[in-house]
Structures are given as structure tokens and as C-alpha cells.
């Protein structure tokens, strides 16, 4: 059970497990969330800061289980298989007024630079909204 919570017993529970699409058209699959809140999955980005051929990349994260929240916070890292970058996402799983689950996230994309003098331009920030 995800964080020890049975979603069947809570009708307005936001569940991370499953397939999601964001506002850029990127898709991800989050596999089972275990008792400790830890999960993994795969990410297929629709865009890239590089010109490399995009391939499926692994993600690993945590849902916070401390409160048995029906709208939990979470974070995950995507380790891009086709570039030397890393993205971290953090967000919250909400149930909207129509009863639809939505992930409101912010991300930091760290690009690789060859020299410390280029560090200032190596991190970009943004938001993504995921729905099922
Ligand atoms: C790279 O360009 O080096 C890796 C791909 C980065 C894709 C970014 S991560 C944040 C934003 N949200 C997405 O779904 N894709 C882009």
C-alpha cells in the first residue's frame, strides 16, 4: 500500500501511480509507491535543450507519507539517458473541483557545462502540470 494508505477507502485520494501527460506533451509512468513512499518509473520528454535523439529515461522519487494526506507532496529526479543533464521535479498531487487528479510541479533542469565560469547559466527552472 502506498504510504500505508488504501486509496479505495478514500474517494478523493490523489494517487501518483499510473500514466501522466504534462502541458508540453511529455509522458511519464509512475510505478507502485511503496510503504516508505519511494517510487520509480520512466519519463518520455517531448522536448529537449539538446539536439540529441530523445529516449525513455528513468525517474526515482518519494511521496511524503508523514501525514496520511489525500493530496500528498512528492519529488522525483529524472536521469536523462540521452544527455548529461538531470532534472528534479517537486510538487503536489491534487484532486480538482471536478474530482480529476492533477500534479502541480516545479522543476530545475541542470545542464552540463565544461567550465565553472559557465555555472551561472547551467540551471533552468519551470513549471509543469500533469493530468492522466
Ligand atoms: C535535456 O534536455 O538535457 C533533457 C530533457 C529535459 C526536458 C525538460 S525537463 C523539464 C521540462 N519538462 C518536460 O517534460 N521536459 C522539459
Cα distance between residue 76 and residue 87, in whole Å? 8
Cα distance between residue 103 and residue 43, in whole Å? 15
21 lines ligand 1 (CB under 6 A): no
Residues 103-130: pLDDT tens digits? 999 999 999 999 999 999 999 999 999 9
**Is residue 58 in some structural domain?**
yes
* Tally of domains within the chain: 1
What pTM does this model have? 0.95
Domain hosting residue 90, numbered range: 18-131
Residues 50-59: pLDDT tens digits? 999 999 999 9
Residues 58-98: pLDDT tens digits? 999 999 998 888 999 999 999 999 999 999 999 999 999 99
**Is residue 39 in some structural domain?**
yes
87 lines ligand 1 (CB under 6 A): yes
Q: Which residue among 44, 50, 87, 130 has the greatest number of ligand 1 atoms within 8 angstroms of its CB, and so is best to mutate?
A: 87
Give the confidence band of 49 by pLDDT, cuts at 50, 70, 90.
Answer: very high
Amino acid at each position: 500500500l502506498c504510504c500505508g494508505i488504501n486509496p479505495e477507502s478514500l474517494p478523493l485520494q490523489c494517487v501518483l501511480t499510473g500514466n501522466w501527460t504534462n502541458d508540453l506533451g511529455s509522458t511519464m509512468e509512475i510505478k507502485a509507491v511503496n510503504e516508505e513512499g519511494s517510487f520509480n518509473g520512466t519519463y518520455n520528454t517531448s522536448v529537449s535543450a539538446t539536439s540529441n535523439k530523445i529516449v525513455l529515461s528513468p525517474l526515482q522519487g518519494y511521496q511524503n507519507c508523514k501525514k496520511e494526506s489525500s493530496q500528498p507532496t512528492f519529488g522525483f529526479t529524472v536521469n536523462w539517458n540521452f544527455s548529461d543533464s538531470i532534472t528534479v521535479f517537486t510538487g503536489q498531487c491534487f484532486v480538482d473541483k471536478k474530482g480529476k487528479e492533477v500534479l502541480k510541479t516545479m522543476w530545475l533542469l541542470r545542464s552540463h557545462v565544461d567550465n565553472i565560469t559557465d555555472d551561472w547559466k547551467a540551471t533552468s527552472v519551470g513549471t509543469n502540470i500533469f493530468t492522466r
